[in-house]
Amino acid sequence: MVKNSKHAFWQALVFTILVFVLGIFLGFFLENSRYDKIEIAVYDSEINLLDEQLRDRVTQDFRVNCELASQSLFDFADQIYTEALNLEEYDSASKLGDGLKAVHRRYDLLRMMLWLESIEIRDRCGTEFHTVVYFYDYDLEDLNVNAEQIFLGRMLEDMKEKNKDKMLLIPIAGNLDLASIDLILKDYGIEELPVILIDEDEIVSDLITFDELEQKIFG
């Protein structure tokens, strides 16, 4: 009986050690896999920055027609929005905070460039679409404000889904020490986030319903 108990003990011990070792290797593999994906995201963000600069020059220098320029703007905005959503998934699952923060900053610069391009296209073409810029806090610890940001973010996603070709949604983190973004926030007198800026004119800083926001954007 004692012999059987010892045998069972050693079996359990060996099994526990194997599970522990496999867990370490699995964790190491998953973290490496995330690191590889983040590294690819870094390269993608650099390419996208260059592509956006060239795309804007092509639109102006080659006098691309307004319909094509607007469609290209919306397509590129959707592309970087999707990439940024994927990045947020890595962000929540990875310990590589500083590297991810740098990629986030690149994507925010991309969105700033898109915003400026959208203003230029509307001025040049008289194109009827609305820009909705959502300034939020990145890596927020305040649970109440974080809940508010989640609520507003989802509402804006639903608004964009309902009005795909009429609304350009541009989420931008307002606390990543980017001079261009800080300058805009100061110019509008924005000191607390989150904030929604509609068509470079109306600021929404209080909680708002879907219908109320839709009325403010589309009238």
Per-residue pLDDT tens digits for 161-206: 999 999 999 999 999 999 999 999 999 999 999 999 999 999 999 9
* pLDDT > 70 fraction of the chain, expressed in percent and rounded: 77
Mean pLDDT of the chain: 84
Q: Tell me: the pLDDT tens digits for 44-82?
A: 777 887 888 888 889 888 889 999 999 999 999 998 888
| pLDDT at 105 exceeding the cut of 80 | yes
| pLDDT at 108 exceeding the cut of 80 | yes
Residue 215 pLDDT grade (very low, low, confident, very high; cuts 50, 70, 90): very high
| pLDDT at 32 exceeding the cut of 60 | no
Q: How far apart are CA 59 and CA 144, in angstroms?
A: 43
| pLDDT at 2 exceeding the cut of 90 | no
Residue 91 pLDDT grade (very low, low, confident, very high; cuts 50, 70, 90): low
> Residue 135 carries which DSSP code?
E
Residue 35 pLDDT grade (very low, low, confident, very high; cuts 50, 70, 90): low
Give the start-to-end residue ranges of the domains of the chain. Answer: 1-127, 129-219
Q: How far apart are CA 197 and CA 112, in angstroms?
A: 13
* Burial profile 22-31: b = 16 or more Cβ within 10 angstroms, e = fewer: eeeeeeeeee
> Which residue, among 50, 162, 55, 34, has the nearest Cα to 99 in the 3D structure?
34
Q: How far apart are CA 23 and CA 20, in angstroms?
A: 5
How many CB atoms lie under 10 A from the CB of residue 93?
Answer: 11
* pLDDT > 90 fraction of the chain, expressed in percent and rounded: 52
Q: Is the pTM of this model over 0.75?
A: yes
Please, are residues 32 and 25 in contact by the beta-carbon 8 Å criterion? no
What are the residues whose beta carbons fall under 8 Å from the beta carbon of 39, sequence distance 6 or more? Answer: none
Please, are residues 198 and 216 in contact by the beta-carbon 8 Å criterion? yes
Least confident interval from 9-13, 92-96, 121-125, 173-177: 92-96
Which residue spans within the chain are E strands per DSSP? 130-136, 167-173, 195-198, 202-204
129-219: CATH, from 3.50.50.60, 1.10.3720.10, 3.40.30.10, 3.40.50.300: 3.40.30.10
CA angle 198, 57, 110 (to 5 degrees): 45
| pLDDT at 17 exceeding the cut of 80 | no
Most confident of 99-103, 110-114, 211-215: 211-215
